[in-house]
Amino acid sequence: MSGVSIWLPTGSALVLFGLLGMLLASSILRKLLAFNVMGSGIFLLLLALRPPGPDGVADPVAQALIITGIVIAIAATALGVRLARRYFELSGHTELPEDRAATRDD
Amino acid sequence: MLEALTWLLLALAALFFSAGTLGLLRLPDTLSRIHALTKADNLGLGLAALALLLHAESWAAAAQIGLIWLLALAASATSGYLIARRCLLESHGTPASTLGAPPPGAPPT
Amino acid sequence: METLPPTLPLALTLFALLLVLNLALGLLRVLRGPGLTDRLLAAQLLGSTGVALLLTLAALQGWPSLRDVALVFALLGLLAAVAYARLRAEQHRA
Amino acid sequence: MNATDLLLALALLLLAGSALLARSVQIASVLFIAFGLLLALVWVRLGAPDVALAEAAIGAGVAGALLMLAASEFESRRIGGSRAAGPRLPWPRPQGWRPRWALVLLALACAAVLLLAVLAIEPLAGAATEAVARNLPQSEIAHPVTAVLLSFRAYDTLLEIAVLLVAVVAVQAAPAPPQRALAHDPVLARVAAITVPLALLVALYLLWAGSSRSGGAFQAGAVLAGAVLLARFASLPLDPQSRLTRPPVLALGLALFILIGLVAGALAGAALGYPSGWVKPLVLAIEAALMVSIGATLVALFGGSKTA
């Protein structure tokens, strides 16, 4: 039990990093990356709450949920990246107007 | 006998992996780091794969280990080549339009 | 597992621990850079050490699926390097 | 093994943090790839090889390459092509650093609440595992995760495929930025000519393995996409992506899933059920269609088919 519980703070910290990244980073791509980090944190929490049984194999339901989540996350990321590319194409900017006032990032 | 051989192979593999990592950390420039990494790591992986091959539970498993090693070898060699190439192009400022063209004087393929 | 010689699990465990240590040290280079190239190189180290680690664990724990993960590691490691090299080429030309 | 866990966890956090703080987005995406690889090892450590397969193929492979591509494109087509020579900071520069402490505090509070909440939950070791194991013989699928994905919770998977289809329709609605053809690299082309067929074989193998152990349509689809992307980067003369990303291929998985779900479900007496004795071929058929569709979807999401 204690071996698994390391992953609860780790997952929470990943969620924190992701949140900070999504709130503070100005570049859209960085926000997408932070979104993925946050998702990974959530997945980690999900699996850490279902520690492996005696045979060492993790909960199949949690595994299936996470696999579904990974695939959805890549779809959302790809959509975001495409929109960011289109936005860059049209405006020449890599960050949204409300973030642009703050600074130039890349 | 088999056991001693396994220990020996694993020890050698560990040595090569550590050498590769050490090289990656300590060598002064990128190209020599590529050199350290691609050579030492592939050898380490090969030795480890050989050690595990001795104890594979079936022929299929043995074949898979062999395939993984070959694939890792190809991947490492190719990426080493690609990365080194980019690195050279960038440091010498060679126009990138020559990228992919055979070097001057190379025999036509 | 029962066919393994008695001291083999110990050897494999030691080897796995050493690989994890290597991995952690290699991460220093990923973090320190300095350039993009060095980081990618270190990520490649992560890939090949990961392959070795997965193969070792597959034998140690008797999970054949871990070898499949190693296979995917080996394949996808190439993709990252190729993407890097090709796209940087693009960038240079522009 | 606890020290190993600690080391892995610290390394993971360090990588995530430095990916978010990296000097440029390109570096950030390389760090993200390393993060994905390490996370895959963590999944293995937590006893989830299926997730590790998906993470290695999708998280580290496809997502990393996707971010790297976009970052490279932004970098290369930046107006003027050159940037200020001074050191660039990852976060907003000091003068632009608006007082965002409220946001930081908010995020910290959220994370703290989350941590307290998950610490309060009693970890349920093996509750669902037992339920799945009990019903596994009835589902006639040997691998628990595949049974959950395609039998016990098939609705989830069906809707997931629908979401993927929606995403790809949305992506294709935005016109793809023009891409220049890549230069031919003889070494790369030769290696890719061997690796790409091998990767296709691995995809089929993972699909087949999914019926008895880790693997299945998602992982196979991701490897398939990786193979096609590799072919594209190596500019192999074959051009599979333009045919692969046509609408019928993209919709194949969803269509077949619904069709089999309805027809076989009518025979079995429940939607998305399978008549006994037919489970294995039907599931394999669905998974094969899903693999092709997922692979095509990932390729389409990656860059669209309209490469110049």
Q: What is the pLDDT of residues D231-253, one digit of tens each?
A: 877 777 666 556 677 778 788 88
pLDDT at B105 over 70: no
| Other C-beta atoms lying within 10 Å of the C-beta of residue C61 | 15
Domain that holds residue C40: 8-93
| B/D interface, count of CB pairs below 8 Å | 21
Q: Which of C8, C88, C93 sits opposite B3 (nearest CB)?
A: C8
Beta bridge partners of A95: A27
Task: Give the pLDDT of residue A42.
Answer: 93
Q: What share of chain C is helix, strand, coil (3-state, %, to 5)?
A: 85, 0, 15
Q: How far is the alpha carbon of C13 from chain D, nearest alpha carbon, in Å?
A: 10
CA dist D191 → B73, B79, D202 (Å):
11, 10, 16
pLDDT tens string C63-77? 788 888 888 888 887
Query: What's the CA gap between C56 and D276, in Å, rounded?
Result: 39
> Does residue D123 sit in helix, strand or coil?
coil
Query: Do residues D28 and A105 make contact, with C-beta atoms less than 8 angstroms apart?
Result: no
Asked if the Cβ–Cβ distance from B71 to C12 is below 8 Å, we say no
Asked if the Cβ–Cβ distance from A37 to D19 is below 8 Å, we say yes
The tokens describing D280, both together, are 């294995």
| Distance from the first to the final alpha carbon of chain B | 49
- Interface residue B81 vs chain D (CB under 8 A): yes
Residues on chain B touching D195 (C-beta within 8 angstroms): 71, 74-75
| Other C-beta atoms lying within 10 Å of the C-beta of residue D186 | 12
pLDDT at B99 over 90: no
**Best residue in D13, D29, D37 for a mutation probing chain C (most C CBs within 10 Å):** D37
Which of residues 36 through 65 in chain A touch D, CB cutoff 8 A?
A: 36-37, 40, 43-45, 47-54, 56-65
pLDDT tens string D110-158? 888 888 888 887 766 666 777 777 777 777 777 778 777 777 777 888 8
CA dist D15 → B77, C41, D27, D44 (Å):
26, 15, 12, 18
For residue C3, tell me if it sits in a domain.
no
Place of tokens 């520069």: D93
For residue C74, tell me if it sits in a domain.
yes
CA dist D89 → A103, D27, D77 (Å):
10, 13, 20
Nearest Cα neighbor of D226 from D272, D273, D295 is D295
What string of pLDDT tens digits covers the 106 residues of chain A? 444 578 888 999 999 999 988 888 778 888 899 999 999 999 998 888 877 766 777 788 888 889 989 989 988 888 888 888 888 877 777 777 766 655 444 4
Q: Which of D16, D39, D149 sits opposite A64 (nearest CB)?
A: D149
**pTM reported for the whole predicted model:** 0.85
Q: Which fold has domain A2-100?
A: Helix Hairpins (1.10.287)
For residue C14, tell me if it sits in a domain.
yes
Task: Give the pLDDT of residue A43.
Answer: 93
Does the ipTM surpass 0.95? no
pLDDT band, residue D99 (cuts 50/70/90): low
Asked if the Cβ–Cβ distance from B79 to C44 is below 8 Å, we say yes
For residue C77, tell me if it sits in a domain.
yes
pLDDT at D92 over 90: no
> Does residue A27 sit in helix, strand or coil?
strand
Query: What's the CA gap between A69 and A74, in Å, rounded?
Result: 9
Q: How far is the alpha carbon of D186 from chain B, nearest alpha carbon, in Å?
A: 7
> Does residue D87 sit in helix, strand or coil?
coil
Query: What's the CA gap between D91 and C32, in Å, rounded?
Result: 18
pLDDT at D183 over 50: yes
